[in-house]
Amino acid sequence: MRRKTAIPPAPLPQRHGVDPVRLRLPGTGAWSTVREYLVHRLPAVDPARIDAMLCGREILGTDGPLAPDAPFAPGAHLWFYRDLPAEVHVPFEIEVLYRDEHLVVADKPHFLATTPRGRHVTQTALSRLRHGLGLPALSPAHRLDRLTAGLAMFVVRPDERAAYQNLFRDRLVRKEYRALARYEPGLELPRTVRSRIVKERGVIAAQEVAGPPNSESLIELTGRTGGVGHYRLRPRTGRTHQLRLHMNSLGIPILGDPIYPVLLDEPAPDDFGSPLQLLSAVLEFTDPVTGGERRFESRRRLAPEPGPAR
């Protein structure tokens, strides 16, 4: 059995809650210098920028900053900060509802991504919490869509990460969402919606297709305000955009949804005026580390407040 090589600790701290990039040089190659390899490995980066980073002692190996002519060393590790994309500040606070030595549970606002991805790096729940709480090893237990508000759970200790992530993988977390959508008096609720959902990489919208169901949601009407219905959604599975697709399939797409039923033009990055009216409201589970029963509930509310269902 091939033994894994231990990864040395990063010589650079996190910046704005974001880890430095770590690269391991390949075991063989025709490159004579680290610079040559980086130009090959990072084609989207201007070679002049790589030169500037090397001259500025911004690329580090295990023994410190690398010189511009540092020789290629097979298998060596190196670290550097990537140039962060220009990001629009999300002008809403993330509230910590619970924190102990195992978990952080936060109430995420709309428009704030859970983890760094693509153009959202520092303006994410994970980066803000790592930086604000001084917890550089904090990691997500699950992923909540950027447009969805509410409960997002994070793991404090790296050695406990898998135990909490497996709760979501194995469907051992009881989730409850709130949503606003058009009130449809002729729609019989509650009902369970089952369908087969597929999501192609690089395509924004997921689709419901023919075939054995791989998704299931219980949808209930809890109240209404005029023509707006207030719905409680209980997903039994966790497919991408599952609740949004199931609500749309009933003819009551969630208010503020920019994808279903019609993909709208992407709003300006600083347009926070029409949030998706979907809230991760409740998480319940048996803690895999402590054995205790956990229940967390969001303090956020979707407006308007509901009246009685009729």
d(CA 6, CA 303): 51
Does the pLDDT at position 51 exceed 70?
yes
- Percentage of the chain lying above the pLDDT 70 cut: 96
Predicted pLDDT of residue 4: 61
In this predicted structure, the answer to whether residue 1 has a pLDDT above a threshold of 70 is: no
- Residue with structure tokens 């590790």? 77
Give the model's pLDDT for residue 85: 83
pLDDT of residue 304: 63
Query: According to CATH, what is the number of the domain 21-80?
Result: 3.10.290.10
Q: What is the pLDDT of residues 17-36, one digit of tens each?
A: 999 999 999 999 999 999 99
**Which DSSP state fits 159?**
G
How much is the pLDDT for 5?
Answer: 67
Task: Give 116-133 pLDDT, tens digit per residue.
Answer: 887 888 999 999 999 999
User: Backbone phi, then psi, for 41, in 5-degree steps?
Assistant: -75, -30
Could you give the residue numbers annotated as active site?
A: 145
- CA dist 214 and 152 (Å) reads 24
Domain ranges of the chain: 21-80, 95-297
What is the CATH architecture of 95-297? 2-Layer Sandwich (3.30)
Q: What is the pLDDT of residues 218-233, one digit of tens each?
A: 999 999 999 999 999 9
